[in-house]
Amino acid sequence: MIEVKNLVKDYGGHLAVDHLSFTIEDGQIYGFLGPNGAGKSTTMNIMTGYIGATEGDVLINGHNILEEPEEAKKCIGYLPELPPLYVDMTVKEQLYFAAELKKIPKKEREQAVSSVMELAKLSDVMGRLIRNLSKGYRQRVGLAQAVLGFPPVIVLDEPTVGLDPKQIIEIRDTIRELGKKHTVILSSHILSEVSAVCDHILIIDKGRLIASDTPENLERQMAGASGMELLVKAPKEEIVTTLESIPQAADVTVEESGEEGIKKVSIHLSGAEQEDGEDIREIIFFAFADQRLPILSMQSQKASLEEVFLKLTSEAEEENTMVIPETQEEIRETEDGEGEKEE
Ligand SMILES: Nc1ncnc2c1ncn2[C@@H]1O[C@H](COP(=O)(O)OP(=O)(O)OP(=O)(O)O)[C@@H](O)[C@H]1O
């Protein structure tokens, strides 16, 4: 289990991570989702002991990454955004070198290296120099390196960035395979990427956690952003009056459909008003039927996960517009985020 408690990273006045807390349970695939600059890499770098935090704690299986870095790091394999590879080494040399750094006992190294080469499908290129490998193969070497020794937790920062569609599918399959026996945390700014492989999604924006749930629950939670579109044969006033009796119909627009006497009705449904088990389609149907107003068509519009993501991140944006830098100095700091640079 990983516990991230009240994590803060301040890059000289620019809060890249802003009091972030979450828990990662064992044996699941977690997606760390957020737009560019949300603070994903910074958080992952802190969680894996690459850089320090300004405030807060990270406990990996009970070991504090700052106080017991060796114990904590033993539990984690990390693929950073730019995998550290020696271009003058062959794939095999690189992996043996990584095995040595990870203190895998000498007699176990051969077995450890060959099993990760098999997992990352590198056996055919084991003798090639890394400088001669394609981006996709380099990524696989980085992944193999992270997985070496099969630590319980695997952290992957944007594992598919820059890969072609075939390579993306291959890496996803490998991640799914890893997820059977390991806790996997991967970051991405692409929603479809995360929803394709993850059991749980953490959405982060401007260094803050704005949602944490299963992909299904996130979609359900957003039922409020869903709506209905109807074609109704009735005058506008009667449509509006009929819909006034339905509390869930929060926002209604009635337009000409193009066909005489038929109106196009768009209903925005308010999630807060919806009760479990009730089907809004039936409620709307009977409301119009009672008034003898024929519905000619009815279509539900469910919020996609993409919309959930956009809505949540834009809500966070709106909240943030309240914080206006006052001095020129603050403006400059906010714009370039310069400060204590860490590599
Ligand atoms: N060493 C640094 N010094 C100053 N600011 C930094 C440094 N590293 C990152 N930042 C800033 O911190 C914020 C978060 O960056 P981070 O790389 O963690 O985001 P991210 O979510 O991983 O984005 P991306 O998907 O673009 O990598 C950004 O505004 C970035 O410019």
Report the nearest-CA residue for atom 30 of ligand 1: 37
Average pLDDT of the chain, as a whole number: 85
- At 333, which helix (H) or strand (E)? helix 328-336
| 39 CB near ligand 1 (under 6 Å) | yes
Report the nearest-CA residue for atom 25 of ligand 1: 36
- Torsion angles phi and psi, residue 263, rounded to 5: -110, 145
| 247 CB near ligand 1 (under 6 Å) | no
pLDDT at 280 over 90: no
Give residue 306's pLDDT: 66
Give residue 196's pLDDT: 82
pLDDT at 2 over 60: yes
More confident residue, 235 or 322: 235
Give residue 321's pLDDT: 47
The Å distance, Cα 338 to ligand 1 centre, comes to 10
- Under 8 Å between Cβ of 27 and 183: yes
| 5 CB near ligand 1 (under 6 Å) | no
Give residue 319's pLDDT: 54
| 189 CB near ligand 1 (under 6 Å) | yes
| 3-state secondary structure labels for all residues of 2-68 | EEEEEEEEEECCEEEEEEEEEEECCCCEEEEECCCCCCHHHHHHHHCCCCCCCEEEEEECCEECCCC
**For residue 168, what are the CA distances in angstroms to 158, 174, 306?**
11, 10, 19
Give 46's pLDDT tier (boundaries 50, 70, 90): very high
The Å distance, Cα 58 to ligand 1 centre, comes to 19
- The answer to pTM > 0.80 is no
- Under 8 Å between Cβ of 293 and 235: no
pLDDT at 343 over 50: no
> Which of 86-100, 223-237, 289-303 is predicted most confidently?
86-100
CA nearest 234: which of 326, 163, 296? Answer: 296
- Using DSSP's 3-state secondary structure scheme, residue 323 falls into coil
C-alpha span between 28 and 260 (Å, rounded): 55
- Under 8 Å between Cβ of 149 and 76: no
Tokens of 263: 């109106």
CA atoms within 13 A on the CB side of 127: 1
pLDDT at 342 over 60: no
pLDDT at 289 over 80: yes
Strand partners, 267: 228, 252
Write the pLDDT tens digit of every residue in 314-330.
665 555 544 434 444 44
Domain 2-221: state its class.
Answer: alpha beta
Q: For a substitution probing ligand 1, which of 14, 15, 20, 336 has the most ligand atoms within 8 Å of its CB?
A: 14
Tokens of 114: 């060959």
CATH code, residues 227-301: 3.30.70.260
Give 35's pLDDT tier (boundaries 50, 70, 90): confident
Lowest mean pLDDT, pick from 93-97, 113-117, 171-175, 319-323:
319-323
Enumerate the domain spans of the chain.
2-221, 227-301
- Under 8 Å between Cβ of 156 and 168: no
C-alpha span between 343 and 341 (Å, rounded): 7
The Å distance, Cα 309 to ligand 1 centre, comes to 20
Residues 6+ apart with CB under 8 A from 288: 232, 234, 242, 294, 295
| 46 CB near ligand 1 (under 6 Å) | no
H helices present in 75-155, as ranges = 91-101, 106-119, 135-147
More confident residue, 100 or 273: 100
% residues pLDDT > 70 (the chain) = 83
Give residue 272's pLDDT: 46
The Å distance, Cα 308 to ligand 1 centre, comes to 23
